[in-house]
Structures are given as structure tokens and as C-alpha cells.
Amino acid sequence: MDKKTMKLAKAALAAVSKCWLPEIGGFLKVERMIVFTDRETFITVDACLHIPDGVYFQAKAKAALAGMQVQPDAGIDEFPAIPAVGGCEMRAPADFWQSVRDILPAVSTDQARYVLTTPAYDNGWIVATDGRRLHVHKGTNCLFGYVNKRTEGKVDKYSARNIGNDGKLWKAWLSYVEDSMVCWDDERIAVTCGGASCIAKTTEGTYPGYKQVIPVTDETWKYDEVPLAEIDDYIKLAGRKSEPELRWHDGTLTIRTRYDAFPSKVLRASEYDKCVRADYLSEACHFVGGNVLNFVDSLAPFVVDNGTRLAVLMPMRVE
């Protein structure tokens, strides 16, 4: 087993060990292949380990990944079958998956809005939003589509589709995958990279029309350059859980916590009257690679844009 495959196997094992389904909290050895699953995502690793074929191990048997003989635990009666994915296989370059990893901070963690808990791919754009902010990576040079069974198997390149799901196994895979082959249909996405592959159930539901909230900038917009380093230092000291806010109010630009749990700090003078979550703004600036904000008035969203990457932030009410 090479180092990359070993890294993925360890990440997958750590993910299934925390799985909420105890009867699937392990892996299965099938000939040269080890299978990890949480019923929604299947990761297979091509490896020769000294484990009898067809043996099921609980996730606590971590010694198996070092090639050691371990005793199988009593587990399930039947290990889940690996699902098939229809459609044609297409190549996704490494920078596509790096873009997916970069955009992950903007996905929603609200299970009530499950369709927003993963990024989406839309005709060369990778998108993530939690309803309060929107991150977009444009022009990824990866125009692969997915096979839509409801349209007689035609490849659809123009519909926003969720990329995988928010499960632990899928995130373990994202930390590993590089240059890969991708196969996509209505229900699942299959990714093959080196001696490993991943079949993930995609999030069900229709991704919202995110383009409607992207403002069009023009010469009437205002511009403000924020002191990003000072903002990052404050967030590090106060912590994200304190919900830090960046306020343009009463002639100053001030950063503070929402419930005054940490001393506020005046950053500089300012003529505007706006407010935004400071940690969201920091992540948006680092995602885009700039610290110049575009906006119209106190009610309009902030926009950070470098042509290839775009972030839109909803303003907060100034109290």
C-alpha cells in the first residue's frame, strides 16, 4: 500500500469509527480490496494486507492497517453491497478538488437545509452557501456533467448539482483526492483516484438559484479596504463562538463580540454605516485573496471579487 492510499485508509477508518451506525462502524476485506462504508458513502482501497478475505472488522481494529493479524469482531449478518453508478466517466483535475476543499467553509451546517450542506457544481462554477454568505469559484476548467436518467441518459452540464454529501467518509475522501476520474448520475457520484475509489450518495433536493443574489457592480459602488490582519488577530483571541461583528458606525470601524464577551477594538475611522459577521468576512477575504469590499448602501450585501473567485456577504442590522 503506497503512502497516499494508507493516508486515505486511515482517514476512512477514523471516519467510520465515529459513525452513528455501530453495525457499519468498520470495514470489509474482499480479495485485494478493503471497503469502508456508512451506508451513504463507500470507499474502496486496493491493498494487500494480511487479513483473510471476506472478514469484517470493527473500526477499533486499527492494527489491521499496519498489516498486522487481528481477530475479527462479531458484526453484521451481511455487509452492504457497493452500489453501481451509471453514466460516462470523465476526468476531473486536481485543481477542481482543491477548489472544492477551499469552498467548504461556506457550506451550511443546518440539517434543516440539507441541500446546502455540500458544495454544488454548475457548468464550471463551484458554489457554496449557508444562506448568510455565498462563495463562488468560477472557471474551474472542469466541464464534466452528470448523466440524468430522467432525460434519457443525456449528459446535463447546465444544472447545479451537489458534490457528494456532508458525511464523515466523504470529507475524509476530499482530504485525499487529487487528479481523478468522475462518474455522476441522479443519485451518486463515483470518484476513482489511484488505487482507491469513492462512491458517494449525493444530497437530495434542488439547489437554490444562487445567481439571483449576486449583485452587479458598477461605477456607483463604494469601496472599502479592511485591515484583515487585525481582524484575524481579534477573531483568534475572541474565538468564533463569540460571534464577532465588524461595524462601520458612528464614524469608526469597530470589531466587537455580539454579547460584549470580549473587549471591542476600534480599527480606524469610517464614514459608512454597516455591519457584518467578522469571521464570515475574514473567510471570504482569504477565499478570494483580497480585502477590498464593494457595496452600495447599508442594506446591500458586501461583495469581494477577484474575477475568478467571488464572495457575497449579507449585512447585519446596526443596533
Question: Residues 298, 222: one domain?
Answer: yes
Task: State whether 150 and 197 are in the same domain.
Answer: yes
Q: Average pLDDT of 216-234?
A: 87
pLDDT of residue 22: 52
Give the pLDDT confidence score for residue 70 in this predicted structure: 47
> Is residue 318 in some structural domain?
no
Q: Is 9 contained in some domain?
A: yes
Per-residue pLDDT of 35-71, as tens digits, reads: 888 778 888 888 766 666 666 665 554 444 544 444 5
Residue 277 lies in a domain: yes
Residue 233 has pLDDT above 90, yes or no: yes
Whether the predicted pLDDT of 196 surpasses 80: yes
Same-domain status, 219 and 188: no
* Cell representation of residue 207: 439547489
Each residue's pLDDT tens digit, 236-246? 999 988 999 99
Looking at the structure, do residues 48 and 94 belong to the same domain, yes or no?
Answer: no
Q: What is the CATH number of the domain that holds 155?
A: 3.10.150.10
**Are residues 304 and 289 in contact, defined by beta-carbon separation less than 8 angstroms?**
no
- E strands of 64-132, at which residues? 89-92, 120-122, 125-129
Asked whether residue 82 is assigned to any structural domain, the reply reads no
Give the chain's domain count: 3
Mean pLDDT of 265-271: 90
Q: Are residues 46 and 123 both part of a single domain? A: no
Statement: residue 146 has pLDDT above 70: no
Is the domain of 60 the same as that of 134? no
Please tell me the pTM assigned to this model.
0.84
Question: What average pLDDT does the chain have?
Answer: 81
Q: Are residues 56 and 109 in the same domain?
A: no
Same-domain status, 21 and 37? yes
In a domain, 81, yes or no: no
Domain around 109: 89-211
Phi-psi region of 243 (alpha: psi -120 to 50; beta: other; left: phi over 0): left
- The rounded distance, in Å, linking the Cα atoms of 103 and 122 is 14
Same domain, yes or no, for 140 and 245?
Answer: no
Grid coordinates standing for 69?
Answer: 493479524
Higher pLDDT, 7 or 149: 7
Residue 72: its pLDDT value, please?
53
pLDDT at residue 153 is higher than 80: no
Q: Are 119 and 128 in contact (CB under 8 A)?
A: yes
Q: Examine the pLDDT at 112 and tell me if it is beyond 60.
A: yes
74 falls within a domain: no
**Single residue among 211, 244, 277 that ends a domain in this structure:** 211
Residues 200 and 243 in one domain: no
- Does 220 share its domain with 144? no
